[in-house]
């Protein structure tokens, strides 16, 4: 079983990865941050180091997916290979921080990698407003993130929303971080876990299977999306 957690910078991916891995007693694959040789340089000079950084992330994510396939282990993965290709790299290109030549080269490499890997069994998207992202980034106090601008987070947020609206690789659970304090509230975390259990076992609460008229073949089911927010 492969569950991947997607979301903007500061949305709580690493926290949820740790909490779910502990609950299910599964392995966790975290994003390479502390040992990333380009991250500090990137935030000081994005234009110079954008291509290098994105290639590093793309390769590390590809290595993780190959390891998941080889091992057959149950895994919770922090961030997906799709976010690199459909959000971060094109955003840098649109901002003029990555040349068209580099971006096209990068994207061709991604498409080759994508054809060799399997999507996650379940994607969890952490949807968070920009003010929530700013607050959580400040709270964790990573030095290299001090230079992240609100405009940069807004651009990423828009791309995340556009990408998630067309995601068709498989099952997806959307968690509204503004309304779900899973990092401090056990009840909120429990609701996420219950929803994951339902998705893993192929159950969709409050949803009856669609009936197919006699004589007609059932259409191929579209990937399902469930949105989870705190009940009020």
Q: Tokens standing for 30?
A: 């975290």
Tokens of 41: 């340089």
Residue keyed to tokens 């000081």: 44
Q: Are the CB atoms for 27 and 70 separated by under 8 Å?
A: no
Q: Which of 34, 78, 151, 188 is catalytic?
A: 78
Q: Does residue 78 have an active-site annotation?
A: yes
Q: Quickly list DSSP for 138-151.
A: HHHT-GGGTT--HH
Calpha distance 230→69 (Å, rounded):
34
User: What is the DSSP code string of 22-52?
Assistant: HHHT-EEE----TT-SSHHHHHH-HHHHHHH
- Residue 30 φ then ψ, to 5°: -100, 155
Active site residues: 78
């Amino acid at each position: 079983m492969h569950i991947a957690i997607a979301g903007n910078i500061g949305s709580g991916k690493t926290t949820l990865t740790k909490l779910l891995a502990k609950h299910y007693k599964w392995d966790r694959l975290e994003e390479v941050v502390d040992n990333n040789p380009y991250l500090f340089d990137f935030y000081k000079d994005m234009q110079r180091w954008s291509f290098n950084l994105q290639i590093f992330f793309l390769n590390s994510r590809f290595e993780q997916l190959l390891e998941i396939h080889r091992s057959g282990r149950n895994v919770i993965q922090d961030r997906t290979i799709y976010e690199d290709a459909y959000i971060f790299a094109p955003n840098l290109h649109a901002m003029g921080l990555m040349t068209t030549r580099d971006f096209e080269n990068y994207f061709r490499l991604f498409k080759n990698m994508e054809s060799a890997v399997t999507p996650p069994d379940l994607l969890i998207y952490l949807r968070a407003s920009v003010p929530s992202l700013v607050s959580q980034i400040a709270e964790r106090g990573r030095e290299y993130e001090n230079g992240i601008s609100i405009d940069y987070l807004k651009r990423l947020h828009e791309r995340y929303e556009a990408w998630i609206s067309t995601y068709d690789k498989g099952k997806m659970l959307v968690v509204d971080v503004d309304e779900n304090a899973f990092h401090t509230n056990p009840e909120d975390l429990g609701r996420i876990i219950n929803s994951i259990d339902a998705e893993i076992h192929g159950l969709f609460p409050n949803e009856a299977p669609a009936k197919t008229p006699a004589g007609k073949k059932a259409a191929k089911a579209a990937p399902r999306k469930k949105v989870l927010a705190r009940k009020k």
